Amino acid sequence: MNIEQVTFNERLQLLHLLQFSDHSHPSDFGADEDTKETLRALDVIASCIATGFEGELFAASLDPTTIPPTIILSKTGAITEEDKNFVSLFLDAFTSPDTRDFRQVFPVLFARCFMSMKIRMQNLYEAARRYLCHHTALLNSYQPLSFKEEFPHFHLLHPNHDDREFADTFHMLFADIEKVASSPFHRDFPVLSHANYTRLHVLSVIIASSRFISVQTDDVFSEKTKAADELRRCLERIKQYVGGVNTLIRRSRQVFPDGNIPVRWVASPSAAAERSVEMAMTPWIALKRLGFNFDAGRQQSIVTQFPSFERNWQAACRTRIHAKIAVLRYFHERGLMAPGRCAIGCSEECCWCCDQWMSRYNSLYSMRYISSSASTKIRIDWGMSGLVPVDFFIQEELGSSIKDRVITRRRKRDSTLSEKNKLGKIEESREDDV
């Protein structure tokens, strides 16, 4: 199997510039409820470590071969002493006998995750606006059930709701999101920031549990459904810090009754952790290496379809082993095989490569690793794992996907032009008849 990091990253970048779809999807793993709860807890741990800086991703899993289980942590990029110190501080905070809920953990979390929290608040604000743009007409024509059935958790905000109208309440909740999301949220005002984030969490719980949100409005690929899915994800991301940490506090006392939680950080081999990769000077050279030697006319056609294809090409990048893959490598190198499904939590939805890699790894080695969700977002900094059979499969998948983008679209365009030519000839024939 011939596989090189340069070829791999060139293909990644080609697929990215060819505007490969970036919608998200939940993983379909059919796990039992206990495994799902473990996965949610691991997602919370990974998210609570993340600072929100671009490209800084974390993953968390459990080594089931130790008693008690060891929390396995990894990071996309270099692991720092600051990362390790925070994890120790964070675990001490939520395992302390004095800790009852999120309120006692917030000061520690806020100091580390301020930027991540702020990004989530802004994302929810934008998702809420897009959702209303696509669903206002449906909202006005919607026939609600009783207020309590439509908003089962509204009492968290107002105890009295007997005389409230459904549509007015819905708009009020979304207006409140806009107000809270634009309120001061700053490191220098932790008390006010805590109050704002807690209120946003309550609003998220109320809206996420509303019956109207669960109503499917259109086809799975419609803009309405896309806006609804995005809103649900943003609501869950807000809820993760408060509800997730509360669940984590409760669950940790069940799994680690003595409060002692063993942790192990895993990193990529130093040689593979981060390296500079020199790629082709132009995307056309990269395409030629794939077997596509386009003339000037075809090149112009691609640029017309994808205006940033040539302009945004990068001749170099720094690759890194992604956090999720580092965890999988750790288990693989030690021959650790969990008796059931093994969950890996992530601070963000994993990228297309990580999702495809884990799926192929499970297939090749008869494993059952799972994660909560994935996207088809392409990250061109993806560093190969070193497990050649799996890396080779991903490289071939990249080649096939690029071929689909440049060949299939060309056929569709040629077919469209052919239809236009036929219509033109018909019109010419009609003019001749006149």
Q: Is the peptide bond before 307 cis (omega within 30 degrees of 0)?
A: no
CA separation for the pair 52, 121 (Å, rounded): 12
Cα gap 272→382, rounded to integer Å: 11
What's the pTM value of the predicted model, to 2 decimals?
Answer: 0.85
pLDDT at 398: 92
Residue with tokens 């669950």: 251
Q: What is the pLDDT of residue 184?
A: 78
* Statement to judge: residues 95 and 201 lie in one domain: yes
Is there a single domain that holds both residue 292 and residue 332?
Answer: yes
Out of 265, 299, 321, a domain closes at: 265
Domain count along the chain:
2
Count CB-CB contacts under 10 A for residue 12.
26
Are the C-beta atoms of 252 and 94 separated by less than 8 Å? yes
For residues 141, 146, 147, 148, the Cα torsion angle rounded to the nearest 10 degrees is -140
- Residues lower than pLDDT 50 in the chain: 22-24, 28, 217-218, 271, 411-434
Is residue 273 included in any domain, yes or no? yes
**Residues 94 and 206 both lie in one domain:** yes
CA 315 to chain centroid, in Å, comes to 27
Give the residue from 49, 36, 40, 50 showing the smallest Cα distance to 263: 49
For 28-78, what is each residue's pLDDT tens digit? 455 678 888 889 999 999 999 999 888 889 999 999 888 889 999 999 988
- Domain holding 169, by residue range, is 80-265
Question: In this predicted structure, what is the pLDDT of residue 315?
Answer: 93
Q: Tell me, what's the pLDDT at 62?
A: 92
pLDDT of residue 27: 52
What is the per-residue pLDDT for 22?
Answer: 46
Residue 415's pLDDT is what? 46
* Domain match, 105 and 246 both: yes
Instruction: Tell me, yes or no, whether 91 and 155 share the same domain.
Output: yes
On whether both 284 and 261 belong to a single domain, the answer is no
225 vs 269: CA distance, rounded Å: 42
Q: Note the pLDDT of residue 274.
A: 73
Q: 383 in a domain, yes or no?
A: yes
* Cα–Cα distance measured from residue 206 to residue 199, given in angstroms and rounded to the nearest whole number: 11
Handedness of CA 351, 357, 358, 359 (dihedral sign): positive
Q: Is residue 411 helix, strand or coil?
A: helix
Identify the domain boundary among 244, 265, 286: 265
Residue 162 confidence (pLDDT): 66
DSSP for 20-62, written as a single string: ----EEE------HHHHHHHHHHHHHHHHH----TT--EEEEE
Asked if 398 and 384 touch (Cβ cutoff 8 Å), the reply is no
Could you tell me if residue 414 is inside a domain? yes
Domain membership flag for residue 47: no
The number of angstroms, rounded, from the C-alpha of 318 to the middle of its chain's C-alpha atoms is 21
Q: How do residues 368-407 score in pLDDT, each as one tens digit?
A: 899 987 777 889 999 999 899 999 999 999 999 898 888 7
Q: Are residues 175 and 313 in the same domain?
A: no
pLDDT at 207: 95
Q: Is residue 142 part of a domain?
A: yes
279/255 same-domain check: no
271 lies in the same domain as 386? yes
Residues 272, 253 share a domain: no
- Inside any domain, residue 389: yes
Q: What is the pLDDT of residue 122?
A: 93
212 and 316 part of one domain:
no
* Residue 83 Cα distances to 119, 311, 392, angstroms: 20, 37, 33
Instruction: Please tell me the distance from the alpha carbon of residue 399 to that of residue 393, in angstroms, as a whole number.
Output: 10
State the pLDDT at residue 431.
35
Identify the domain boundary among 241, 265, 289. 265
